[in-house]
Amino acid sequence: MKNQYIVKKDTTLLKYLYEILDLPKKKIKQYLTHGCIYVNQTQTTKYDYPLKKNMTITIQQNTKDFIFPILYEDRELIVVEKPSGLLTVASLKEKENTLYYMLSNYVKKKDKNAKIFIVHRLDKDTSGIIVFAKNQKMKEQLQKKWDQYAKVREYKAIVEGIPKKEQARLVHYLKETTTHLVYTSKTGKKAITSYQVEKTKKNYSLLRIFIETGRKNQIRVQLAEIGNPIVGDHKYNKTTTAKRLFLHATRLKLFHPTIGKVLTFTSPLPKEFEVLMR
């Protein structure tokens, strides 16, 4: 399986990979060391390999490693961290460059008959914790009682401006247009999002967010509705210039129905969040 990137500026290889991949530098160095990185189809392990604009970088997974962090794995579940900019599942335009496709390849390297199943999704531009099932029964169990089994769903977001209230519980009803734009209405699907302000800097606020429902684009729409759209949300924040969506699924407490225990998964904030709020 391959992932390809077109270099957009003159730089060096390790520096550029660190900028485009939402991964620790240690992990990126491992891929270089293991010969997984190709520049214009030439394999290289050099951290300071010079890059020129329009060169092609290919990440070839030739080990049993999965390129993104795996937080938990057993016979029935696999929990991973999704980077911003990657689809969870295939679309009409993109079939292979998806988390589902990459993860399917990973489990099939261990067992050619292995499968994974979608339990829930994250928007393409949202990063953080996501859960997949390894069999149909587990998928159906989790989906049927997701709001009950997902005990805590915590996100972090950087929004424009400073909210009028330091903390609040937002309740809206959401509908979707034929062009897939979600909006608030007097009727529709109920969405509940709570937030508290953790830090402010000039015209930005870092929010700690908890959701009680899992509606499409819920957090993005509700925060935009109160006048504090998420930085980098080009769908619901037309004035933003940021390259990524500053929304990250940072903590999940999930009841595992087979082992009968609540498991807690955490994901650190991507470096872009720290830079913006520094």
Catalytic residue among 10, 65, 74, 123: 123
pLDDT tens for residues 92-104?
A: 676 667 889 889 8
Does 136 lie in the same domain as 55? no
pLDDT of residue 92: 66
Residue span of the structural domain in which 41 resides: 2-60
Residue 2: count of CB within 10 angstroms of its CB: 11
pLDDT-derived band at 81, boundaries 50, 70, 90 = very high
Nearest-Å Rg of the Cα atoms of the chain is 20
Give the CATH number, domain containing residue 181: 3.30.2350.10
Residue matched to tokens 């959401």: 174
The DSSP 8-state label assigned to residue 89 in this structure reads S
Spatial distance between the Cα atoms of 103 and 214, rounded to a whole number of angstroms: 23
Residue matched to tokens 């190709």: 38
The model carries a pTM of 0.78
Tell me which of 60, 89, 104 is where a domain ends. Answer: 60
Element containing residue 142 per DSSP (H, E): helix 136-144
Does 50 lie in the same domain as 74? no
Quote the Cα angle for 116-29-231, to 5°.
70
Give the CATH number, domain containing residue 21: 3.10.290.10
pLDDT of residue 63: 45
Spatial distance between the Cα atoms of 199 and 118, rounded to a whole number of angstroms: 34
| pLDDT, mean of residues 214-228 | 96
Q: Is residue 35 part of a domain?
A: yes
Residue 19: count of CB within 10 angstroms of its CB: 13
pLDDT-derived band at 65, boundaries 50, 70, 90 = low
Does 107 lie in the same domain as 24? no
pLDDT of residue 258: 94
Spatial distance between the Cα atoms of 70 and 82, rounded to a whole number of angstroms: 10
Does 241 lie in the same domain as 110? yes
Nearest to 11 by CA among 36, 40, 37, 47: 47
Counting residues of the chain whose pLDDT is more than 90, the rounded percentage is 66
Does 35 lie in the same domain as 129? no
Does 81 lie in the same domain as 145? yes
pLDDT of residue 110: 82
Q: Is residue 65 part of a domain?
A: no
Does 154 lie in the same domain as 83? yes
Q: Taking 80 as the threshold, does the pLDDT of residue 56 lie above it?
A: yes
Residue 15: count of CB within 10 angstroms of its CB: 12
Does 75 lie in the same domain as 54? no
Catalytic site includes residue 123: yes
Pairing label, strands 127-133, 247-256: parallel
Contacts of 264 (CB under 8 A, 6+ apart): 152, 251, 252, 253, 254
Does 135 lie in the same domain as 37? no
Q: Is residue 156 part of a domain?
A: yes
pLDDT tens for residues 37-46?
A: 888 878 788 8
Does 172 lie in the same domain as 253? yes
Element containing residue 168 per DSSP (H, E): strand 167-176
Spatial distance between the Cα atoms of 50 and 40, rounded to a whole number of angstroms: 12
Nearest to 102 by CA among 127, 83, 119, 120: 83
Q: Is residue 221 part of a domain?
A: yes
Spatial distance between the Cα atoms of 237 and 220, rounded to a whole number of angstroms: 9
Task: Please tell me the total count of domains within the chain.
Answer: 2
pLDDT tens for residues 222-277?
A: 999 999 999 999 999 989 999 889 999 999 999 999 999 999 999 999 888 998 99
Does 157 lie in the same domain as 89? yes
Residue 192: count of CB within 10 angstroms of its CB: 15
